[in-house]
C-alpha cells in the first residue's frame, strides 16, 4: 500500500525554484551603481490610457557602464516616460534629447549602499519564507499520507528528503544574498 502513496518532490522543488527565481528578479532591480536595463523594468508609463511597461514604449539600451538610454518610439509619450521615471523612486534625473531619454547613474554613497543591502536582505527573507511555506505544504502532504497508511519508515525517508530540499534552497538564497550584498558594497 505504501507504494501507492508518494509525495511530489518535483513539484515542491519547482515551487522552491520559483521562490529563488523571484528573489533573483527582485535583486536585478536593485541599483548597484552600474547601469542595467532591468532597473527600469518595474516603471510603468501611462501610455494610450493604460499603464504600460517602459520597454513597450521605447528601446532600452545601456551604452556605458553608468548610462541607460530609452529611445521612445512615439514623440507624444516622451514627457509621460520622463514623468514616470521621475516618480518611480529610482533617484535618477532623466535628461531628454528629442526622443532619447538618458539616465545617468550616479555613484552610490555609503548610506545608500547600506540601505540597499537591507532591501536585499528583505527580498532574501521573503524567499526563505516562501521556501519554508512550500516545505510546510510538503510536510502536510506527508502527514496526510501517514494517516492514509504510509509506513513510519517511508514517512521518515520522505520527510528527510523534503528537509534536504529545503536546506539546499535556503543555502542558495543565502549565497545569492551574500553575492548581492558584496556587489552593492563594492566601490
Phi and psi, residue 163, nearest 5°: -65, -40
Domain ranges of the chain: 9-28+109-185, 37-104
- Fold held by 37-104: Gyrase A; domain 2 (3.30.1360)
Per-residue pLDDT tens over the stretch 114-123: 888 888 899 9
Cα pseudo-dihedral 28, 32, 33, 37, rounded to 10: 0
Least Cα distance to 54 among 33, 73, 28, 34 occurs for 73
Helix H or strand E encompassing 63: strand 58-64
Overall residue count recorded for the chain in this entry: 187
Cβ-based burial of 47 (10 A; exposed 0-12, middle 13-18, buried ≥19): buried
Quick one: pLDDT at residue 4? 47
**0.85 exceeded by pTM:** no
Q: Between vectors from CA 85 to CA 60 and to CA 92, what angle results, nearest 5°?
A: 95
Mean pLDDT by 10 residues, the chain (187 residues): 63 92 84 73 85 88 87 90 82 85 83 84 93 94 89 91 94 94 81
CATH of domain 9-28+109-185: 1.10.132.20
Amino acid at each position: 500500500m505504501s507504494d501507492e502513496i508518494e509525495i511530489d518532490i518535483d513539484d515542491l522543488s519547482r515551487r522552491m525554484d520559483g521562490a529563488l527565481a523571484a528573489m533573483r528578479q527582485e535583486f536585478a532591480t536593485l541599483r548597484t551603481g552600474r547601469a542595467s536595463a532591468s532597473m527600469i523594468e518595474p516603471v510603468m508609463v501611462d501610455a494610450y490610457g493604460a499603464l504600460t511597461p517602459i520597454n513597450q514604449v521605447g528601446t532600452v539600451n545601456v551604452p556605458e557602464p553608468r548610462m541607460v538610454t530609452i529611445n521612445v518610439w512615439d514623440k507624444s509619450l516622451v514627457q509621460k516616460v520622463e514623468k514616470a521615471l521621475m516618480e518611480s523612486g529610482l533617484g535618477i534625473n532623466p535628461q531628454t534629447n528629442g526622443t532619447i531619454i538618458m539616465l545617468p547613474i550616479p555613484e552610490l554613497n555609503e548610506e545608500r549602499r547600506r540601505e540597499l543591502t537591507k532591501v536585499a536582505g528583505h527580498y532574501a527573507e521573503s524567499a526563505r519564507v516562501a521556501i519554508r511555506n512550500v516545505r510546510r505544504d510538503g510536510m502536510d502532504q506527508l502527514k496526510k499520507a501517514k494517516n492514509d497508511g504510509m509506513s513510519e519508515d517511508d514517512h521518515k525517508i520522505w520527510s528527510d528528503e523534503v528537509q534536504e530540499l529545503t536546506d539546499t534552497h535556503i543555502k542558495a538564497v543565502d549565497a545569492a544574498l551574500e553575492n548581492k550584498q558584496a556587489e552593492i558594497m563594492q566601490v
